Structure 1
Amino acid sequence: MGHNGCVNCLQWNNDGSLLASGSDDYNVHIWNVPRGSSVACMPTGHIGNIFSVKFVPFSGDQMILTGAEDREIRLHDLTNFDTVQVWSCCNGRVKRLAVSDQSPYLTWSASEDGCIRQYDTRERHSCSTDGRCRNVLIDLHSTCGSSSSQGYTQCKCLDVNSVKDEQLVVGGFDPYVRLYDRRILSISYPSTNVSPSADHSCIAHFSPGHITRDRTKQSSANYVAATYVCFSPCGQEVLANLSGEQVYLYNTVSLDHCIKYVPGDDGILSLKKPLPSIPVSSCTHTCDPSLLDEGEVPYAARELRNKGNEYYQRKQYTESIIEYSNAILECPHWHILYSNRATALVSRNWPGDVYDALKDTERALSLCPTHIKSLKRRIKCLKLLHWIKDARGFLNVYESIQPQDKEFIKTMGAALSIEEGRNGYNNPTVPEGVSDWEANRQSTANDYRQRYTGHCNNHTDIKEATFLGERGEYVGAGSDDGNVFIWNKKTGNLIRVLHGDESIVNCVQWNPTSCTMATSGIESIIKIWEPRPTDEDSDLVEKDMVHVCQRNQLRRRVDPFEMMLWGLRMIEDPSVDHVPQQQCQQS
Structure 2
Amino acid sequence: MSKMHRHYHWSPRTTRNVVLLQNDRPYFNIETLIRNRLKAAPQFIQNLDVEAKLEGHNGCVNCLEWSSNGRLLASGSDDNRLILWNPFYHKPALDIMTPHQGNIFSVKFLPNTGDTLIVTAAADQYCYVFDLNRAADLSSPCWKCSCHTTRVKRLATVPESPCIFWSAGEDGKILQFDIREPHECTREEKVCLVDLKNHIGASAEAKCVAVNPRRPEQLAVGASDAYARVYDRRMIKLFRIGDVSLSQNDRQIEDNLSRDCVTYFCPGHLNKFKDRKSGFTTKTITYLTFSPDGLELLVNMGSEQIYLYDLNNAQQPVYLSMPQFNKTTDQPDENKNPDSASELPSTSTTPVTYTKLSKLPKHVDEMKRSGNEFMENEKYLQAINQYSECIKLLPNHPVFYLNRATAYMRRNWFGDMYSGLRDCQQALRLDPTYVKAHFRLARALFELGFVMEASECLDELKKRFPNDATNKQIQLLSQDIQSHIEQHRNSNQNSAESPNTELSNNEMYWRTIAKDFSERFVGHCNTTTDIKEANYFGGDGSFVVAGSDEGNFYIWERPTTKIVAVYKGDTTIVNCVQPHPYLCLLATSGIDHEIRLWSPKSDEFDSENRVSYYDTTVVVNQQRMMADPFEFNASGAVCRAS
* 1:94 aligned partner: 152
Please list the CA deviations of residues 342-388 of structure 1 after superposition, one character each: whole Å capped at 9, or x if unmatched: 00001111011000100000111111111121111111111211211
CA separation of 1:294/1:397 partners in 2, compared to 1, >3 Å: closer, same or farther?
Answer: same
Q: Determine helix, strand or coil for the equivalent of 2:406.
A: helix
Q: CA deviation at 1:214?
A: 6.3
* 2:141 aligned partner: 83
**1:206-245 map, 5 Å:** 206-213=265-272, 223-245=282-304
Counterpart of 2:482, as a letter, is: S
Whether 1:120 and 2:120 are equivalent positions in the alignment is no
Match of 1:13 among 67, 74, 77: 67
* 1:328 aligned partner: 391
Q: Determine helix, strand or coil for the equivalent of 1:395.
A: helix
Q: CA deviation at 1:163?
A: 0.7
Match of 1:64 among 101, 118, 122: 118
Whether 1:104 and 2:165 are equivalent positions in the alignment is no
TM-score w.r.t. the length of structure 2 is 0.78
Whether 1:355 and 2:387 are equivalent positions in the alignment is no
Report the structure number with the largest CA radius of gyration.
Answer: 2
Q: Determine helix, strand or coil for the equivalent of 2:175.
A: strand
- What is the distance in 1 between the residues matched to 2:500 and 2:555? 35
CA contact (8 A) 1:215 1:430 kept: no
Aligned residue-pair number: 529
Counterpart of 2:417, as a letter, is: V
* 1:374 aligned partner: 437
Counterpart of 2:77, as a letter, is: S
Q: Which has the higher contact order (CA 8 A, sep 6+)?
A: 2
Q: CA deviation at 1:540?
A: 0.9
- What is the distance in 2 between the residues matched to 1:426 and 1:341? 36
Whether 1:253 and 2:312 are equivalent positions in the alignment is yes
- What is the distance in 1 between the residues matched to 2:368 and 2:123? 51
Q: Which moved more, 1:549-558 or 1:387-396?
A: 549-558
Whether 1:418 and 2:483 are equivalent positions in the alignment is yes
Please list the CA deviations of residues 140-179 of structure 1 after superposition, one character each: whole Å capped at 9, or x if unmatched: 1222233xxxx2x211001011111111100001100001
Whether 1:500 and 2:569 are equivalent positions in the alignment is yes
Counterpart of 1:230, as a letter, is: T
Counterpart of 2:552, as a letter, is: N
Whether 1:176 and 2:245 are equivalent positions in the alignment is no
Whether 1:293 and 2:352 are equivalent positions in the alignment is no
* 1:22 aligned partner: 76
Q: CA deviation at 1:96?
A: 0.4
CA contact (8 A) 2:129 2:142 kept: yes
Whether 1:545 and 2:614 are equivalent positions in the alignment is yes
- What is the distance in 2 between the residues matched to 1:421 and 1:399? 21
Please list the CA deviations of residues 526-565 of structure 1 after superposition, one character each: whole Å capped at 9, or x if unmatched: 11112335564222111112111111122224469xxxxx
Can you give the 5+ residue segments of structure 2 that lack an aligned partner in the other structure?
1-54, 326-352, 493-497, 630-642
Whether 1:466 and 2:520 are equivalent positions in the alignment is no
Q: Determine helix, strand or coil for the equivalent of 1:65.
A: strand
CA contact (8 A) 1:178 1:202 kept: no
- What is the distance in 2 between the residues matched to 1:236 and 1:443? 23
CA contact (8 A) 1:256 1:449 kept: no
* 2:349 aligned partner: none
Identity of aligned residues (%): 37
Q: CA deviation at 1:124?
A: 2.4
CA separation of 1:375/1:492 partners in 2, compared to 1, >3 Å: closer, same or farther?
Answer: same
- What is the distance in 1 between the residues matched to 2:279 and 2:603? 44
* 2:128 aligned partner: 74
Whether 1:481 and 2:534 are equivalent positions in the alignment is no
Q: Determine helix, strand or coil for the equivalent of 2:141.
A: strand
- What is the distance in 2 between the residues matched to 1:326 and 1:431? 45
Counterpart of 1:11, as a letter, is: E
- What is the distance in 2 between the residues matched to 1:371 and 1:426? 36
CA contact (8 A) 1:75 1:86 kept: yes
Please list the CA deviations of residues 293-315 of structure 1 after superposition, one character each: whole Å capped at 9, or x if unmatched: 34354443332222111110111
- What is the distance in 1 between the residues matched to 2:426 and 2:159? 41
- What is the distance in 2 between the residues matched to 1:161 and 1:297? 44
- What is the distance in 2 between the residues matched to 1:410 and 1:36? 67
TM-score w.r.t. the length of structure 1 is 0.85
Q: Determine helix, strand or coil for the equivalent of 1:168.
A: strand
Q: CA deviation at 1:431?
A: 5.3
